Copies of this chain bind each other. A is one copy, B any other.
Amino acid sequence: MSKERLVVAVVGATGAVGREMLKTLEDREFPAHEVRALASARSAGTTVPFKGGELTVRELTEDSFEGVDIALFSAGGGTSARFAPHAVKSGCVVVDNSSNWRMDERCPLVVPEVNPDALKLHNGIIANPNCSTIQMVVALKPLHDAAGVRRVVVSTYQAVSGTGQKAISELEKQVRQMFNMQEPEASVYPYQIAFNCLPHIDVFLEDGYTKEELKMVQETVKIMGDPSVKVTATTVRVPVFYGHSESLNIETEKKLTAAQARAVLAQAPGVRVLDNPSENIYPMAIHAAGEDETFVGRIREDHTIENGLNMWVVADNLRKGAALNAVQIAEELVERSLLDIADPGKFL
């Protein structure tokens, strides 16, 4: 397959992540001969911006993937479950942003800075991890290599854009309502998100954890390829439009001083250390928005245990947390000539 002839489809092209995927393909000059925008019948015929012009959105059907080499899916778990197998059947490699295939043993779950080699074993569907997991493992992996991460306690501060375009509009609308002395109306979230914190992301499970919290636990192990890395999470939605922040408490096998951790992270791919408290330099959502890197700061030794660190990790949840990571996976697939699918019928 010549790079110059690649056909790429973006499924869910009208959503917050889909639009960011198109922008990322453009920004990174992905070597696509043609880019197709696919979405539900409701959006078919509308347009989305791409390379200074527009793409007309086509309806997603089982036949949409004829002649498509790579499809980037960001259209919800149900859509991925139904259509990704048909894409693969058509010889198209799928990079899926939903949670549907992430824990499926047939599907690698990949963050290119962490486990790019997992791509070698793909069967046609590669899963893109959850946004809050991606930025965490980008920061954890170099520390794991240096000192062996044993346990992580993470609390998140997640932007509404992680929920999608509707949630961005809801936060904006609620703020306007409140500033006009009206009651804020909640429909995307169970309660008002404006000027509030919601300790509730995705659905609740039987043990009291949310599915979002479980994703951080399970996906981290799968990506790091090490079941000894234990994670416990509390995931929280905050009234921020773009950029997830995370407070990480990390216990390692070997001692790392704050200075050593800083040095390790400064060399790590995809990481930018912003850590100079005396100059008020630390990562923040407003600075991470629109950026590709995962920002790490507030690196401190935790004095309550022998080998402990606290740190603050921020990334653009739509870019590194979703669109960018998916495009990076596609780039790796092209770079490593991994677009062949041995058994296109495997998922049907």
Q: Is the CB of A239 within 8 A of B240?
A: yes
Q: How far is the CB of A284 from chain B (nearest CB, A)?
A: 6
- Tell me if A197 counts as interface (CB < 8 A to partner B): yes
Say whether A151 faces chain B, with CB atoms less than 8 Å apart: yes
Beyond A157-B157, A157-B238, A238-B238, whether A232 also contacts B302 by CB under 8 A is yes
Contacts of A245 in B (CB 8 A): 197, 199, 236
Q: Using Cβ atoms and an 8 Å threshold, which residues of chain B touch A277?
A: 200, 204, 208, 210
Query: Does B151 contact A207, Cβ atoms closer than 8 Å?
Result: no
Could you tell me if A157 and B197 are in contact, using CB atoms closer than 8 angstroms? yes
Q: List A residues 237-296 near B (Cβ within 8 Å).
A: 238-241, 245, 247, 249, 258, 277-278, 280, 282-286
Decide if B241 touches A236 in the complex (CB within 8 Å): no
Instruction: Using A208-B300, A312-B199 as known contacts, say yes or no to A249 and B247 having CB atoms under 8 A apart.
Output: no
Q: Count chain A residues whose beta carbon lies closer than 8 angstroms to a beta carbon of B.
A: 55
Bound state CA distance, A215 and B172, in angstroms?
A: 35
Residues of B within 8 A of A310 (CB): 232, 234
Docked-complex contact A151 and B247, CB < 8 angstroms: no
The docked-state distance in angstroms from the alpha carbon of A299 to that of B207 is 10
Interface residues of A in 118-175 (CB under 8 A from B): 151, 153, 155, 157, 172, 175
- Among B207, B230, B234, B298, the residue within 8 A (CB) of A208 is B298
Q: Is A108 an interface residue (CB 8 A)?
A: no
Whole-angstrom CA separation of A308 from B207 in the bound complex: 14
Q: State the CA gap A132–B297 with chains docked (Å).
A: 22
Shortest Cβ distance from residue A16 to the other chain B in the assembled complex, whole angstroms? 16
State which of A53-61, A188-196, A323-331 sits at the interface with chain B. A188-196
Residue A303 interfacial (CB < 8 Å): yes
Q: Which B residues touch A208, using CB under 8 A?
A: 258, 277, 298-301
- Which of B153, B155, B198, B232 interacts with A284 by CB under 8 Å? B198
Q: Which residue of B has the minimal Cβ distance to A308?
A: B232
- Interface pair B192/A286, CB less than 8 Å apart: yes
Q: A191-B284, A197-B245 are in contact. List 13 more A-B contacts (CB 8 A).
A: A151-B304, A153-B302, A175-B175, A197-B238, A198-B284, A200-B282, A208-B300, A232-B302, A232-B304, A236-B245, A236-B247, A239-B240, A249-B249
Residues of A within 8 A of B (CB): 151, 153, 155, 157, 172, 175-176, 179, 190-192, 195-200, 204, 207-210, 230-232, 234, 236, 238-241, 245, 247, 249, 258, 277-278, 280, 282-286, 297-305, 308, 310, 312
What are 11 A-B pairs at a CB distance below 8 A? A191-B284, A195-B240, A197-B238, A199-B247, A200-B280, A204-B277, A208-B299, A230-B303, A232-B310, A234-B249, A234-B310
